[in-house]
Structure 1
Amino acid sequence: MTKSLSEFSSYQPRVIKLLTNSIRKDRLAHAYLFEGKKGTGKREVGVLLAKSFFCENLQNYEPCDNCRNCKRIESGNHPDVHVVEPDGLSIKKGQIQALQEEFSKSGVESNKKLYMIVHADKMTVNAANSLLKFLEEPNANTIAILITEQYHKILNTILSRCQLLSFQPLQPKAIEQTLTDSGIAPPIASLVAQLTNDTEAAFNLSKDDWFAQARLKVIKLYEVLTTRKGQAPLYIHTEWMNYFNDKEKQETGLDLLLYIYKDVLSVQLGNDEHVIYQDIIQQIKQHALQITQRSVTEKVTSILEAKKRLHANVNPQLLMEQLVLTLQEG
């Protein structure tokens, strides 16, 4: 089930404050444009706004989630709530015309109607012009929600008729909390939250067996680098290259390694609560005592440099062998 508006306020405080104030004062705009990166909650907030608009037992500004309207909106079956999504690669004029035709009829159960256009930037020019006519003559009881990840592609004439709400990228802690609340193990959740600010992508990654194994292989490399230094090149040859066998996986491996060395730095700076690899924090603390801050910073820089060189098409095995030789110094 979708989070409540109050739960969303910790992720998107500005957006939720504006919407809840409008709901309280019964001053919802006739058209909104929700813009922001993928995974920032635009569609979920759109569904919550629809529930608030139709809820039979609205409490303060929160929909009840139990009435017939809330339940049908949650399941996508409310007759007066319409969602338009791209048909193939674009939203076509016919789709907007069908929507207009639907809205020319009176509401099935009340005089209220709400429509949501997902990926509004994918409207064809003709579709956008059809929508423009619709927005120019708003019905008092109609709400439009346009959703986009590419705000700059929306016609200025449409922008000028919508209230713009910008959704900010989610903070890692917010994503981590969402994942752990859903039963994802904390060590995986904290790491995944650093790699993406898209909640959906974070869920997919956290349930990916390849990723879980990759994390263990990176920890193993770190152990080899700190306790059996001479064996690191052999580990790269026998285990690393077989597992991280394409450029995308190699980059992920470098990112995971980078976060361990950043954790060492966090411990040295007294920020234990910022450590991502909490399950190996004792090992990290021990290492932090044996190495200077400057040396850790140099190792972080060398991993970042390796990432750059990976994109410059340097031989990956040679790159990793050189990197581990650098990392095992000091």
Structure 2
Amino acid sequence: MPELKAEKLQPTILHRFQQVIAHHELAHAYLLVGPDGAGKQELAQWLTLMLFCRHVTDGRPDLTCPECQRVLSGNHPDVVVAKAEGRQIKVDQVRHLKAEFTKSGMEGQRKVFIIEDADKLTTGAANSLLKFIEEPGPGIYIFMLSNNKNAVLPTIQSRTQIVEMQPLSPDSLAQQLTTAGVPQELQPIVTGLTDSVTEAQSWMQDDWLKQVVANIVRWFKETATGNLESFVDIQESFVPLVSGHDREATCLDLMSLIWRDALVIASHADGRLYYQHYQSTLQAALRQLSVDQVLAASHIALTSRKLLDQNISFQNVAEQETLRILKETAHL
């Protein structure tokens, strides 16, 4: 029998669910929480297969019966899936969900609702679903998925069993990043910022991450060695690349991350390096700096990121960060 992706991504949680199902203790509503790529969708699909499969053997769906085949193909009439279109799950989708909640299964006694991006339900939409989540009726199972538990209304959380995905193993994450097209030299940097494969994929569009990292490595060398071109680089090299708050925040996080690596190198600590591919470049740039100077610079880089959330423009934040680092490293 082939191994399902959920069995690879979340074996411990899946085993726990096998025991729950074997003892007929499956709850009617779950909130599955974890980053993209951690296995939320796959786990929801596995649970759906277990509920509909006609020949469950040793705690696993057979994957070959007509019920399994329809679940796997996305064509089962008693499986209703809702996901965000853009930034929110729209009102029409919520109306459809509410209508489906009132109907019994077309072909049996069970019906499954999978609500992806549950954190993107508007407050009004989420509140309108509370009654159905709290009292879904016999045979109805609801699996809500979210990247961020804290973005889901507390009233939703209190009416569901919350299951948090375990972090992917380094090997699993590396394999997914490779599949997503992230070059090996950039993978450690990506894992320093996120464990979401989808987010990493978005950074790879138009070689954005590759360009930004190249600029940041050059900027780091310039700030560490007192080159005032680092200030000019902000407007000429960075500003054209960062459009929108998310990209601006990611760029500042990458700046903070490289100075964090610099501190690990300067202090001869045992911490993991994220800019591993550029280690020799970082070491060469740090030759004239003391540990205290690197510590001060890394602190500036870390705290500068928070200024972006205070409605200060990216250019102002990055330029001020650059000047402050140059001053601390005794080059101004």
In the superposition, the TM-score normalised over structure 2's length comes to 0.74
The letter for the 1-side match of 2:31 is F
Provide, for residues 186-236 of structure 1, a one-character-per-residue CA deviation record: whole Å limited to 9, x for no partner.
233322233334332232223452232111111121233345735433434
Please say if residues 54 and 65 of structure 2, whose CA atoms lie closer than 8 Å, have aligned partners that are also in contact.
Answer: yes
Tell me how far 1:242 sits from its aligned partner: 4.1
Q: Contact 2:78/2:110 (CA < 8 Å) preserved in 1?
A: yes
Secondary structure of the residue aligned to 1:115 is strand
Residue in 2 aligned with 1:193?
191
Q: Is the 8 A contact 2:181 2:201 kept in 1?
A: no
Contact kept, 8 Å, 2:293 with 2:329, in 1: the verdict is no
Using the aligned pairs only, state the percent identity.
17
Matched, 1:278 2:280: no
2:46 to 41, 45, 48: 48
Q: Is the CA contact 1:20–1:61 (under 8 Å) kept in the aligned structure 2?
A: yes
Q: How far off is 1:175 after superposition?
A: 4.3
Structure 1 CA distance for aligned equivalents of residues 19 and 90 of structure 2: 37
Q: Are 1:31 and 2:28 matched, yes or no?
A: yes
**Aligned counterparts, 1:54-203, within 5 A:** 54-55=52-53, 58=56, 60-65=58-63, 68-84=66-82, 88-89=90-91, 92=94, 95-103=97-105, 105-107=106-108, 112-118=110-116, 119=118, 123=125, 125=127, 127-130=129-132, 132-135=134-137, 138-139=138-139, 143-147=141-145, 149=149, 150-154=152-156, 159=159, 162=160, 164-168=161-165, 170=167, 173=170, 175-203=173-201
> 1:127–1:301: structure 2 CA closer, same or farther, 3 Å change rule?
closer
SS for the counterpart of 1:144 is strand
Structure 2: gaps of 5 or more residues: none
Aligned CA distance change for structure 1 residues 6 and 94 (closer, same or farther; 3 Å) = closer
**1:245-295 CA-partner distances (Å, limit 9, x unpaired):** 6665443332212111212233344436x2111211222344456543332
Q: Give 5+ residue unaligned stretches, structure 1.
A: none
Instruction: Give the stretch that moved more between structures: 66-75 or 44-53.
Output: 66-75
| Residue matched to 2:323 | 322
Q: Tell me the distance in 2 between the aligned counterparts of 1:256 and 1:145.
A: 35
CA distance in 1, matches of 2:126, 2:245: 36
Per-residue CA deviation, residues 88-131 of structure 1 (Å, 9 max, x unaligned), is 2475456333343242x442xxx554333443965465543355
The residue aligned with 1:215 is 213
* Equivalent residue number for residue 10 of structure 2: 9
Structure 1 ranges of 4+ moved more than 6 A: none
CA RMSD between the two structures: 3.8
CA distance in 1, matches of 2:186, 2:77: 41
Measure how far apart 1:328 and its partner are: 4.8
